[in-house]
Amino acid sequence: MTLTQVSSWQSFGGTLSVHDHESALQNCTMRFAVYTPPQADPEKVPVLWYLSGLTCSWANVMEKSGLQRAASQHGIMIIAPDTSPRGEDVADDDAYDLGQGAGFYLTATQEPWAKHYKMDQYIADELPKVIAEHFPAADMSRQGIFGHSMGGHGAITLHLKHPDMYKSCSAFSPITSPCQVPWGQKAFTAYLGDASVAWEQYDATELVKERQTKATILVDTGTADTFLERELKPEIFTEACRKHGQRLDYNMRDGYGHDYYFIASYMDEHIAHHARALEA
């Protein structure tokens, strides 16, 4: 599979690079970023996937979170995919929370979305093959996943579905009960149709009832998050984890919001969490 490098920068002894490739699954050109730590020459290093939130791309976390310092320190490769398929031929919506930039890490079954919107399959299947082929330092036997908001939803659901692949998991301000909040209900109705069992397959609260993992899921959410009561509702997921025996370290951080100032404040702790789990 051909990979085109778009840009590259040195950072904390490693390299941040941005790449395009043609996705057969998504039927469009997809872009992603990779931070390769200095330890990757000559060693193999663990791989940590970061999934961004609504309206974002690979750029937000790579440019705003300061993750390169901790990734360099621990010797972890970090990959930031896009949040949706993109392009003139890709279905979109005028609203910020649907369409391009709002893929919700699922496989759409409804028109006009079904042709392109397969972000969960893309991240769990197609893109890892690209990484394995073009980044030989990536140790695909040691992978973790984390994300923010919509990306936190994606990270936790993918971890619960693929615990042998993603051995560690964490999230910032995740949407963990999308079936019960406006963001999730809107997206699921558009992408998946009327409420059904299909919705539950992309809802962390529903999944954890049947799919507990051995990992401790780390979550940080700000008490000043403007979406806390309407969209995040952390008490629903925390109660489901308690009831069904899923290990969860859920922290409410006083005064923090739903932004990259918050993410940057706790990024080092999250990368250290994954480093311990992946034996970096």
What CA–CA distance (Å, rounded) separates 201 from 55? 23
Per the CB < 8 A criterion, the answer to whether 41 and 24 are in contact is no
- State the virtual CA torsion across 146, 175, 265, 249 in degrees, nearest 10: -70
What CA–CA distance (Å, rounded) separates 151 from 145? 10
Which residue among 225, 270, 273, 274 is the active-site one?
225
Which residue among 258, 270, 273, 274 is the active-site one?
258
Q: At what angle do helices 260-278 and 67-74 cross, to 10 degrees?
A: 10
What CA–CA distance (Å, rounded) separates 88 from 86? 7
State the residue for tokens 């993603």: 166
149 catalytic residue (yes or no) = yes
Which residue among 11, 52, 65, 149 is the active-site one?
149
Chain centroid, CA 190 distance in Å: 21
116 catalytic residue (yes or no) = no
Active site residues: 149, 225, 258
